[in-house]
Each structure stands twice: as structure tokens, then as C-alpha cells.
Amino acid sequence: MIESIKRYLGKPYFLLLLISIFGIILSGYSYDSYYIPLILKNANPELFPVDLFVNSGSIYNSFYFKVIGFLSRYVELKIILFCLNLMVAYAMGMAIFYLSMVLFENKKVAYLSTILLLILKSAISVAFIGICMGSEASGFSMPFLLFSIILFLKKYYWQACLIVAAMFYIQGMQASFVAGLFLFHFLMEIKTLPKRKVLVGFFCLIVPILPMFLKVVSGGFFKVFSPMEIEQWLLILHVRSWYHLFPFSWGIGDWFNYSGWFIWAFIVFYFHKPRNLPEQHGVMVNFIKAIFLMCAISTVFSEIFIVPLIIKLVLWRSTIFFLLFLLIYMSNYLEMFSPKKIWQGFLIAATVSAVFLSFYKLVTCFALLFLAIELFENERKKTGYFIGALGLSCFFIFIAGTILPIGAESYIFKKIIGFSNLGGEALLVFSCFFICAFLSISYSSLRLRVSKSVLISLALIFLFMGTLLKVRKYRKIVLSDVSRDWKAVQIWANENTQINSTFVTPVYLEGFRIYSQRGIVLENKDGGPAVYDLEYAFKWWQRMNDFGYKSLKINLNMKNDLKRIYRSLKKEDMLKLARKYDAEYIVVENEHKLDLKKIYQNGHFKVLSIR
């Protein structure tokens, strides 16, 4: 009986379920305020009758949200979203595990890949979207796309292409990236691949998406605009989505984040080319080449020769797949490294902890140190000394920017280098996970004169401590960006106003639509569809102007500026806004003095009526 239980507990699907649950406990889960209104609208078409964002015909409003909206008529939406988050996390873990197994046939690598990837909460900022969030179509589609890649690696081309075609109806952007990977590989290997299989796969990819393609065309995605309109649109995109579209606008700190992944790619593909299953790794190399090509195309046609259609494809977001692939290869490298000295164990533990906690500047620092080690082992000692010194220097600069007073507010750290002040508590969380990782490595690789039971016990203690600290400090509570009073004012609006009511709300706060189920004039995040729809972009920007925000420059402090501008609006400004957009109510913070009738107030917010 005991042996059968042990065998059951040792199965991958059970261990992956535990990892999935732990990931939710550690990082939490959230409903994205961006998409919930779309679900609510699909559940009840009478909601948000004049809301600009919800009624924009947004490309975000996919079949996925229509299905959830339909189900929410019979099952409470919170229950649906919780179940979806758990299912997506588990499916994501399974997909990563089996993709690693297909590539390396090593369970240690597969489990390490799953742990590192499943817990990620943010990554390359231009690419990463909530890949483990069931409330997002991108999260739901990602496991299916990864399984399609697994099938493609096994040469089940038409099955893989059919899955990708189906995902176009869930999340078209991510599906188009994977379709691009497949087509690029077909093109690169056209002479060696079986022509019939390639042709069948191509048709299984293209034919099912034709109805959706025709719908997108009729919706104006390919509509031609005048040069003046395009110029204005580009200025608006630089305000709202510069970090997704315009790499020339990224700061040194952003590029420092990304450089760590490029260094790791160089290490794992140049110094440690996988020897087993060379054909499958050749496919992965083609995929990575395709991603780099998409990024190059996006850069050229968004920064140099402007082509609106290329900008709308947001090709830099394809780097999410580069990150996923790379971390699997990193896991294989770290598993092969097999430290023989304590300092090597420290370095591996620090790298795993930095990736685990999404401290990507530290990932870059440690990548430089690993590169220095590889250079030493390949008799390039002078270059190794230089790279090692650079890595240590970056590490100490990062620590200085985190814990010293000079780091938080100085121009050099904040504006030029871009280091954020994580604070001592963040380093404490990192330290707990670092010690846990080091003890685990010591248990498996280093020959320390310590009882294995002691090592395991200490590792579990520090894992528990790190988890508690991270949950307390960083966990995403449901709608974590909404305070109790912000939620309370929404509930009041839902219970005390007509279903077709419209509110003027603080532009810098998100999520008013969720609990109130009432339309609003504008919130900052409403600008997202501007990338895909020029007419929507102009309407959104007009509303931003009406609220007093007129700067067409990249602004890292945009939210604070919106807060300052909104708080400075006077009675006449608010009335003008409300009348222009048919709003009956105005929500402000209590400190905002306006001579209007107050009909509700709590600790932080009040609702004013213009009647």
C-alpha cells in the first residue's frame, strides 16, 4: 500500500499539480481589470451601453471572453476564473515539462524548467503577458501553443498546425507568432522536409483561419490612413505603448535586463551545444532565428521605415517564446554544471533564485559570471578576467542601488542606469530562496559534512520563510490594485445607480467597471487598443486631452502626472467633461474639493452628482 502511494506521488502529473498550487500560493492570481468588463458585457449586453473601451469592437474581445461570459450566466464568475487560473497553471506546467522532456529526455531538467517558468510573474517587459492567468486569453492559449510545438518537434505537422489555427480564435497575436515559427522552419528546411507533410500542415494552418482573417479585414485592420493621421497615431503610441513597440526608446536599465538573456543564449548555444537529438535542437535554433527576425522586422518598420501594418503585429512580443525556450536550455545547463566547489554552488543558487523571483538585473550579473567561467575553461583567461570583473561590478552597483540612499533617488541610478530600489525586504526574500536553493544543491552535488536530513530540513525552513515573506510583500491579491474603499465605491454604484449610468472616475485608477458594472469616461489603460485601431486611438487621445493630459512624449511618470492633473480639475472642468460624455456622476478622492452635491462618501472616495 505504502509503495503504491509512493509511486503515485512520484508521478509527474501529481508533482506538477503541487508545483502549480505552490505557484499560485507564492505569486497569487489576479483578475485583469482590462478584460473582466469584456466578459461582463458578453454576459449581459445591456451593460456599458456608451463605454468607449468596452464598445470599441476591440480586438481583445475574442471568442474566449464570449464563452466565459456565457458560462458566467450560470456559474459565479469568481469561481470560473479561479478554476481557469488553476487549470492554466497546471496545463502550463505540463506543457513545459513535456517540452523539456522532448528536448533533453531528462526529468531533472524538466522539473527545474517547470519550477523556473511556472512561477515567473514578469519577464522581458516588451514581450511578457500573463502566461499563467486564466482570466486572459493569452494565458489560456499558451499551453496549447506549447503542446503544438511539442507535436511539431515530433513531426506531427498537421496536428500542430491545427492547434495553432484554433488558437487564432482565442488569442490571435500569440498564435500568429507560433505560426511564424512553423512557416520559417518550413522555409529554411524546404529541401529536406517531406513535401506532402509540409503542404498538408500549411493548409491545416491557413484554411481554418480564413474566416477570422476576412473578419479582421472587414473590421478595418488593413485600412489605409493619410500620412498626417499616421504621424499623429505614432505620437499617441509613443505615449501609451512605447515599451511594446519602439526599442530605440528603451533606457539603459531596460537593455541591461534583456542583455542577461542574450548572454545566456550565447552560453548555452555556443559553449554547450546539445549533442543528443540534434534534429530537434536544429528546429529550436530555427525558431529562435525566426524570433530574432521578427524583432528585427518590427524595429526597422517601426523606427526607420514606418509601416503601420507591421507595427500592429507587435512582433517584439514574440520574445516571450525566446524566453520560454531559453529558460529550458538554461535549466539543462545548470543541471549539467554539477558544482564541485562551494562558490560554484553559490552562483547556481543565486541564479536560480534571481530567475525565480524575477530579479532580472541580477540574472544579467550572474550570466556575466557564468560567461567568465566558460571563457576560463576555454583558455581565454584575459577576456574571462574582464567579463568576471564586469559581472562583479554590475552586481555591487545593483546592491548599492538597492540598499544605499544614493541608489533610490540619484539621477545616475534612477534615470540613466534604471536600477529600481527593491529595498531590504526584497533582498531578504531573495536571501531565503538563495539559501534554500544552495542547500538543495549541497544535498545533490556538493560533498558537505552535514547530515542530509539536516540539509533537507533547513531547505524546507528557508523555503517556508521565503514563501511567507513573498506572499506578504509581493503576492497579487484578487484586484490588488483596488483598495477596500475603491471597491466599496464601485459596489455602491452598482447598487444605487441605473445600469446605463456613466461615471467620471480618476484616470490613474483602474478597475472601476468590475464591481460597479457601470461605464466610465476614461481610464489610462483604455489606450491599449490604440495599437490596432487608429480611429480608436484618436478618440482615446481626445479624451486624454479633455482630462488635461496633452504631452505627446514618453513619460515614465505618466500615472503620477495623471493623478496631479485630475486632482487639479475644478468644478467647471468636471461639469464640462460630464456633459460632453453624458456622465451623471463624478468620483474623486475626499481631498478633492468640488462644489457639487455629494451622494456617497467613504474613507478615501466620494461620489458627486451633477444633477
- What are the boundaries of each domain within the chain? 2-30+76-337, 484-609
Q: pLDDT confidence of 258, banded at 50, 70, 90?
A: confident
CA distance 104 to 273: 12
Q: pLDDT confidence of 275, banded at 50, 70, 90?
A: low
pLDDT per position as a tens digit, 43-57: 999 999 999 999 886
Q: How far is CA 559 from its chain centroid?
A: 20
Residues near 376 by Cβ (< 8 Å), separated by ≥ 6?
A: 384
Mean pLDDT of 492-505: 95
Mean pLDDT of 363-375: 88
pLDDT confidence of residue 513 = 93
Q: Over pLDDT 90: what percentage of the chain?
A: 34
pLDDT confidence of residue 61 = 64
Instruction: Report residue 226 as a C-alpha cell.
Output: 493619410
Q: Which helix (H) or strand (E) holds 183?
A: helix 172-188
Q: pLDDT confidence of 408, banded at 50, 70, 90?
A: very low
User: Residue holding cell 532565428?
Assistant: 289
| Report for 107-121, 487-501, 542-556: range of highest mean pLDDT | 487-501
Q: Over pLDDT 70: what percentage of the chain?
A: 80
pLDDT confidence of residue 605 = 94
Instruction: Report residue 207 as a C-alpha cell.
Output: 484554411
pLDDT confidence of residue 178 = 97
Q: Residue 436: is it exposed, middle or buried by C-beta count within 10 angstroms (0-12/13-18/19+)?
A: buried
CA distance 346 to 59: 47
pLDDT confidence of residue 570 = 93
pLDDT confidence of residue 426 = 67
Radius of gyration of the chain (CA): 26
Lowest pLDDT segment from 149-163, 462-476, 503-517, 536-550: 462-476
Q: pLDDT confidence of 108, banded at 50, 70, 90?
A: confident
pLDDT confidence of residue 127 = 37
Q: pLDDT confidence of 167, banded at 50, 70, 90?
A: very high
Q: What is the DSSP letter of 304?
A: I
Task: Report the predicted TM-score, pTM, of the whole model to 2 decimal places.
Answer: 0.86
Q: How far is CA 283 from its chain centroid?
A: 25
pLDDT confidence of residue 423 = 54
| Residues 210, 217, 56: CA angle, nearest 5 degrees | 120
Could you list the beta-strand ranges (E) of 246-356.
none
CA distance 576 to 572: 6
CA distance 63 to 67: 6
User: Residue holding cell 517601426?
Assistant: 302
User: Residue holding cell 473578419?
Assistant: 215
Mean pLDDT of 77-92: 87
